[in-house]
């Protein structure tokens, strides 16, 4: 869909590379500008984390601290469609590579700056990371245990949601450019991406509602809950619709629970205690098989290795295949393994500079 679109990506770590990776998956040519030492994400997890979100890109190493490096970057920026950067606000302008600088040579440029708090907020120059953004947006307070203590997430939500927001804005700007012929400057804030998710919570609380969202979705009712199995694993029940709840109750042999769909999910409540006991009667494997047979919004809580085997299955592989030929970040082996494709080596595509000299 984006064949012919060229993206020049100066970003490192996760949000920007995730955004440009999504654009690459849609067919864009992504030229990744790295320092001579490479993206700082490269060493993590033996390089596999870097590989996951940089496959399909081209790498050009430039030292932006030198006049030569900056001049080569300017020449590249003059012929691309999109620039993505994630330095602290003001850094690209000081390098002579800010939006106004690039626009002088490329009026149609779509220039996307990704930062924690946006380019002009009172927090713009503060150093922060994903956990800080989740804390400030109110998201972290929603991820709390039974005692109300925030649970440390194992997925960097702000990075990925911010990356998706950036890709979304770039796509909208490309569409607008087709109509108007004009480029655009995009100021994408990671914390704003999380705040957008919280809009419903903000609205409810502003109207005198609960601080933790709808009770039906907040783990307070029996039909939308996590239950532990006999072997210490977990199953998710999300039977919000009456017919799904009915099908579940009938399938487990407890039709008397049908009328208690919204019963409180707390110890001492008869239906909740009954469900807790029921799920502990069978193993995770047995309940997983049951979930495949009974259409009742029931699913196992999978670990990473189990989830990737699921997505390697022919029946669900299309969910992650973002290109017509099914290319994603990994090659699916016959045994269900996901072997991440090789990302570009640092400066592997230095020949792209030949036409800029």
User: Could you give the residue ranges of the DSSP H alpha helices within 138-283?
Assistant: 139-142, 157-180, 190-197, 199-206, 242-251, 270-279
Contact 39, 54 (CB under 8 A): yes
Roughly what angle, to the nearest 10 degrees, separates helices 190-197 and 157-180? 100
Task: Please name the residue that has the structure tokens 């000299």.
Answer: 357
**DSSP 8-state class, residue 151:** P
Task: Indicate which residue of 39, 81, 130, 159 is catalytic.
Answer: 159
- What is the rounded CA–CA span in Å between residue 74 and residue 344? 22
Is 129 in the active site?
Answer: yes
The answer for residues whose C-beta is within 8 angstroms of residue 236's C-beta and 6 or more apart is 225, 226, 298, 299, 300, 301
Could you give the maximum distance between any two Cα atoms of the chain, in Å?
A: 78
Task: Indicate which residue of 67, 105, 129, 231 is catalytic.
Answer: 129
Coil, helix or strand for 347? coil
Task: Please name the residue that has the structure tokens 């039709």.
Answer: 255
Residues annotated catalytic, as ranges: 129, 159
């Amino acid at each position: 869909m984006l064949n012919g679109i060229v993206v020049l990506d100066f970003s490192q770590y996760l949000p920007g590379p995730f955004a440009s990776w999504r654009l690459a998956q849609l067919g864009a040519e992504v030229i990744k500008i790295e320092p001579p030492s490479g993206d700082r994400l490269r060493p993590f997890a033996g390089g596999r984390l870097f590989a996951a979100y940089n496959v399909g890109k081209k790498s050009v190493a430039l030292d932006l601290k030198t006049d030569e490096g900056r001049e080569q970057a300017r020449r590249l920026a003059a012929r691309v469609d999109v620039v993505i950067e994630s330095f602290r606000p003001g850094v690209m302008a000081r390098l002579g590579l800010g939006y106004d600088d690039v626009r002088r040579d490329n009026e149609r440029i779509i220039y996307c700056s990704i930062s924690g708090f946006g380019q002009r907020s009172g927090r713009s120059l503060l150093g922060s990371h994903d956990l800080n953004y989740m804390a400030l947006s109110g998201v972290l307070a929603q991820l709390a245990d039974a005692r109300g203590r925030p649970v440390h997430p194992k997925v960097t939500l702000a990075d990925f949601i911010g990356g998706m927001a950036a890709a979304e804005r770039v796509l909208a700007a490309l569409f607008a450019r087709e109509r108007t012929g004009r480029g655009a400057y995009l100021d994408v804030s990671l914390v704003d991406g999380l705040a957008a998710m919280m809009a419903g919570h903000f609205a409810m609380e502003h109207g005198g509602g609960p601080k933790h969202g709808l009770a039906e979705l907040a783990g307070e009712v029996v039909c939308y809950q996590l239950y532990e199995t006999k072997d210490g694993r977990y199953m998710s029940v999300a039977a919000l619709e009456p017919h799904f709840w009915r099908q579940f109750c009938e399938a487990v042999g407890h039709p008397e629970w049908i009328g208690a769909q919204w019963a409180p999910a707390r110890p001492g409540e008869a239906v909740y205690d009954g469900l807790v006991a029921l799920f502990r009667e069978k193993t995770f494997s047995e309940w997983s098989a049951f979930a495949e047979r009974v259409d009742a919004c029931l699913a196992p809580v999978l670990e990473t290795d189990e989830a990737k085997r699921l997505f390697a299955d022919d029946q669900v592989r299309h969910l992650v295949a973002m290109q017509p030929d099914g290319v994603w970040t990994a090659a699916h082996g016959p045994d269900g393994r996901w072997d991440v494709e090789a990302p570009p080596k640092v400066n592997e595509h230095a020949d792209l500079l030949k036409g800029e000299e």
